[in-house]
Amino acid sequence: MRAKLEEFWMDEQGAAAIELGLIAAGFCVALITLAGQMNDEVKIMFERVREMLRSFNTLQ
């Protein structure tokens, strides 16, 4: 039984999957934070595009 426990404790087979999961989670947190900060900038950009389209439409 002790040998099986030591074997289980020393097994590192799932370590790579856990590391990749942590990297992916960190990437997602960074992406969500960046998207939250860009929200106002994107809104302003679309408002400018809307105004340009409206002014273009009135010229015709």
Q: What is the pLDDT of residue 27?
A: 94
Q: What is the pLDDT of residue 56?
A: 81
d(CA 5, CA 12): 13
**Distance of CA 44 to CAs 24, 25, 39, 40, 48, Å?**
30, 29, 9, 6, 6
Q: What is the pLDDT of residue 48?
A: 93
pLDDT, the chain, mean: 84
Q: Which two tokens stand for residue 6?
A: 């030591």
Residue that wins the pLDDT comparison between 39 and 49: 49
Q: Which two tokens stand for residue 29?
A: 């947190």
Confidence of residue 26 (pLDDT cuts 50, 70, 90): very high
Q: Give the chain's length.
A: 60
